[in-house]
């Protein structure tokens, strides 16, 4: 017989909340199983933009939490969805990795090759960041391109350390252009909140957001009107 749950929907961050690297955190699998057994809606939400939803679902399943891509929302997917609706056909210069570029290609956005003919600079986690990429982005923005980012995180947790995330690149670009970015798409933005609430299809007050970062996970939960757990 199922247990009575306080919430109907449960949203979990991934890195640092469900797993670190290739290791589930203690109790993660049991918690998800118990929620599903009691017919709760469970979704996973990550700002990490270096893999597609399918890869995150496969990883969770491999680690012992069976998951479909439809149960995962990540910032690169949300960015592609948002830009396809708000800037269809835009020429986009990406500071980011292949998975993000593939997401943009899937919605028919064009990769910019000329800094004077660029509609948008999109900043993301990029482990191949170079001087040339920053140079192109700077001159594209000077020429009138808008500038956005997939997520604001400065670092991403790993099992033994942290890796530099999109927020560090955002800080460099904002210093260059001497103004804030036009939009950050991932947690805790209203863009990400709307995608999450649409996917949950539940009143926000009946849902709980669980994560390891106050400035993204918990802030987003509060902005969305959800319960939160750190």
DSSP conformation letters of 134-149: HHHHHHHHHTT-EEEE
Please identify every stretch of the chain with a pLDDT value under 70, giving residue numbers as ranges: 1-3
pLDDT at 3: 67
- Domains, the chain, ordered by start: 9-74+187-229 (3.40.50.1000), 76-184 (3.40.50.1000)
Provide the pairing of β-strand 9-12 with 72-74.
Answer: unpaired
Backbone angles phi, psi at 44, to 5 degrees: -115, 135
Q: How many helices (H) and strands (E) would you count in the chain?
A: 8, 14
CA atoms of 50 and 190, how far apart (whole Å): 21
pLDDT at 2: 57
**Strand ranges in the chain using DSSP code E only, listed in sequence order:** 9-12, 19-20, 23-24, 41-46, 72-74, 91-95, 110-111, 120-123, 146-149, 155-157, 162-164, 183-184, 207-210, 227-229
pLDDT at 144: 97
**Maximum C-alpha span of the chain:** 64
pLDDT at 4: 80
């Amino acid at each position: 017989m199922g247990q009575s749950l306080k919430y109907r929907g449960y949203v979990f961050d991934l890195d640092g909340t469900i797993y670190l690297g290739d290791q589930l955190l203690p109790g993660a699998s049991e918690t998800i199983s118990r929620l599903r057994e009691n017919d709760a809606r469970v979704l996973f939400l990550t700002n990490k933009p270096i893999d597609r939803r399918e890869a995150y679902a496969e990883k969770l399943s491999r680690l012992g939490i069976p998951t479909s891509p439809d149960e995962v929302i990540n910032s690169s997917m949300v960015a592609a969805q948002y830009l396809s609706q708000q800037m269809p056909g835009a020429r986009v210069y990406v500071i980011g990795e292949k998975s993000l570029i593939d997401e943009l290609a899937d919605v028919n956005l064009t990769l910019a090759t000329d800094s004077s003919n660029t509609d948008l600079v999109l900043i993301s986690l990029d482990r191949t960041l170079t001087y040339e990429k920053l140079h192109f982005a700077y001159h594209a923005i000077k020429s009138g391109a808008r500038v956005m980012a997939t997520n604001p995180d400065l670092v991403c947790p790993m099992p033994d350390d942290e890796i530099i995330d999109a927020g560090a690149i955002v800080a460099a670009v904002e210093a260059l252009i001497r103004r804030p970015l036009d939009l950050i798409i991932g947690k805790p933005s209203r863009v990400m909140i709307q995608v999450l609430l649409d996917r949950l299809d539940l009143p926000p007050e009946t849902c709980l957001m669980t994560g390891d970062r106050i400035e993204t996970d918990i802030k987003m939960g509060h902005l969305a009107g959800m319960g939160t757990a750190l």
